[in-house]
Amino acid sequence: MSKRIYSFAFDSQFATISMLKKQIFEDLKTAMKSGETEKRDVLRMLDSMIKNTEIELKKREEGLSDEEVLTVIGKAVKQRKDAMAQFAEGGRPELAEKEASEVDILMAYLPAQLSEEAVREVVLAVIAETGATSKADIGKVMGLAMSRLKGQTDGNVVKKIAEEQLA
């Protein structure tokens, strides 16, 4: 009778990792194996941004929550969109296209984006709730609206709608 010895490998890297971060890491490995260089580079950049945020928030051991990872992804998307606009203004359409494709890769990790009408409903509700009447109150409206719409829309859309309503 032979004795079986089972060994279980435990990867401590995934002990407290958020599901979203785990998905990004798995997608990064898949992109590396399949030779998708653009996706690989974008996900490496995102992984680096997440690690830098963990260090900045002193959460290197426990890792970021899914909500914090979404914030990092949102920041990366915003950076790419800003760069896209600047490249388009500067007459560099090829670089603007590259940034647009990077945004597409990153958007896959964000929740579904709300339509402008849905965002308008939330902003109108916030305006009614806060009693905002002028552009001076836009800070209150933006803060509350963005906390409710976190990751579901771009801040510029919320700002545009709020300014229209408070004009």
SS3 of residue 54 by DSSP: helix
Inform me whether the pLDDT recorded for 4 exceeds 90. no
Q: How confident is the model at residue 155 (pLDDT cuts 50, 70, 90)?
A: confident
SS3 of residue 11 by DSSP: coil
Which domains are present in the chain? Answer: 15-107 (1.10.1510.10), 116-166 (1.10.10.410)
Say which range, 4-13, 61-70, 71-80, has the weakest mean pLDDT. 4-13
How high is the mean pLDDT of the chain? Answer: 86
Cα distance between residue 144 and residue 98, in whole Å: 33
pLDDT digits (tens, 9 = 90+) for 5-49: 544 343 444 445 688 999 999 999 999 999 999 999 999 999 999
pLDDT at 43: 95
Inform me whether the pLDDT recorded for 111 exceeds 80. yes
End-to-end CA distance of the chain: 84
pLDDT more than 70, % of the chain: 90
pLDDT at 6: 42
**Given CA atoms 18, 20, 23, 29 in this order, what sign does their dihedral have?**
negative
Residue scoring higher pLDDT (3 or 126): 126
